[in-house]
Amino acid sequence: MARNLKKFVNPRFLNTVNLDLMRRLMERHDDDLHGIDLTLFDEDEANARKALADFFAGPEVGYPDGLIADLHRIAEIGDSNGLQIILESAARHQISLLPVDEAGQVSETPQEPKHVALKVFLDHPEVFNSAIDMLAYRSLSSFSEYAGLVEGIEAEVTKKALQAFQEKAAEIFEANLRGRYCEAQSYDDDGDLNIVITHGAPFKTTETVSQGDQREVISFRELEHAVVIYSPASGILKIGRIAKAQREQIAKIFAAEFLGEPDFFSAPDAQNLYTLAPVEDGGFDFSIHHDFDPGILRVQITEVQVNRITTDLATGKTMVLHSIVARDGRDNALLRLGENTNGIDLGSPEWQVNHIVIKVHFNVGTKRPAKVTVKLKAPAAPMFKRQRFEGRIMTLLRRNGFVRDRDSLALAAAAE
């Protein structure tokens, strides 16, 4: 059994899960089940749970493909972070997930994330699917970001526009040998427009062993989830889980279908959104201040790379002669770099900061703080897991000068 699935369908889960829910899950694949008889659920609870444990102790290749797919999707979101996403999705759909007893009263029955995920999968598929789509965004660490010509432009998301966007996106995936299948779903998330695009992955062919211990060759195409997020307030479009070569195409399609302006994200400096100038200007003594947020306990600079650069006189392009990387997991890598190297002048044209990695410690009311690692390589978007603290991290970067001021862009657009 795959590692994440083995962790999900473990003895503790099988000994506590609601058997009616497990029966309903497995009945979805009754025609393709092998090695298990669903009449086990008619036996006493102890025997039923033992039979389930014996079945799931076997190899995953013995399960129906549909059951594997269901279990992987439930396992993907069946943890504490996934529970929070499910609750947010349920709130958007105005559905309460509080357990109720036979009399319709709220029950005190404890609900583990795995059990909640299973119940929502069966009883509220619209909530579950929305949560899975949101998880695709929250689990991303790397985006491409595009600044629009102006801020405050709302996207007009109609059924016709969404269908047109979906069809044009399908052409891009098909041209890149990912098949024609493409489905786009839109969600509003606190004023931001989120579009999750489900599409095919490159084709795979692999050798397997069948139920009769016969070698078989199967071919299949997995599904992947691309994510597009547009914030009208900032005019920023984020695109992730799409090959970088196709992101500008997706941005242009989004702008054409939802904003009515294909070149809305095509300005020459549309992706010039972040800068490491504060580090270069501050030198080796630079530090990140966070006193404006009392919940941030500490910010470490754990890694820094600097490049020795020169200009090619023939082409005018900047060339990297060599790079130096410093790491320090306990203190400040930038300070350590200055202590152990000579001849580096971060304020001079000959030296350029390539990237920095910081670790932000958040007070969450427990003995150990929550830590989020952020990599910033300007002008690209910062890389970090966005499951928690995204807004506070972006505020931290903005307050320390890493986010470029977009007023000049707005003024330029207004002048045109």
pLDDT at 412 > cutoff 60: no
Residue 325 phi/psi, 5-degree rounding, is -115, 130
Average pLDDT over the chain, rounded to an integer: 87
- Which range among 36-45, 67-76, 255-264, 406-415 shows the weakest confidence by mean pLDDT? 406-415
pLDDT for residue 37: 81
Of 302, 274, 297, 306, which is closest to residue 376 (Cα–Cα)?
274
Within 13 Å and on the Cβ side, how many CA atoms surround 408?
Answer: 8
At 145, is the pLDDT very low, low, confident or very high (cuts 50, 70, 90)?
A: very high
250-305 pLDDT, tens digit each: 999 999 999 999 999 999 999 999 999 999 999 999 999 999 999 999 999 999 99
pLDDT digits (tens, 9 = 90+) for 364-380: 888 899 999 999 999 98
* pLDDT given for residue 132 in this prediction: 84
Q: Please say if the pLDDT value at position 395 is more than 50.
A: yes
Give me the pLDDT at residue 8, please. 67
Give me the half-sphere count of Cα atoms (radius 13 Å) on the Cβ side of residue 195. Answer: 29
What local confidence, expressed as pLDDT, does residue 69 receive? 78
Residue-wise pLDDT for 92-134, tens only, equals: 889 988 876 666 665 666 678 889 999 999 999 999 988 887 7
Six-digit token string for 339: 């202590």
Say whether pLDDT at 1 is over 50: no
Identify the pLDDT of residue 2. Answer: 46
Residue 57 has pLDDT above 70, yes or no: yes
Task: Give me the pLDDT at residue 109, please.
Answer: 63
* Rounded Cα gap, residues 274 and 145, in angstroms: 10
Helices 80-92 and 113-123: angle between axes, nearest 10 degrees: 40
Helix, strand, coil proportions of the chain in percent (round to 5)? 40, 25, 35
From residue 90, alpha-carbon distances to 81, 128, 141, 296 in Å are 14, 8, 25, 30
**Residues comprising the chain, all counted:** 416
Closest CA to 300 of 340, 279, 337, 328: 328
Confidence of residue 217 (pLDDT cuts 50, 70, 90): confident
Residue range 74-100, pLDDT digits in tens? 888 888 888 988 998 899 889 988 876
For residue 3, pLDDT over 70 is answered with: no
Most confident option among 185-194, 244-253, 382-391: 244-253
Determine the pLDDT at residue 415: 45
* CA atoms of 228 and 145, how far apart (whole Å): 10
Pick from 335, 280, 278: which is nearest to 302 by CA?
335
Phi and psi (nearest 5°) for 302?
Answer: -95, -15
Higher pLDDT, 136 or 246: 246
Whole-number Å distance between alpha carbons of 105 and 208? 50
Phi, psi of 58 (to 5 degrees): -80, 175
- Statement: residue 51 has pLDDT above 90: no
pLDDT, mean of residues 313-338:
90
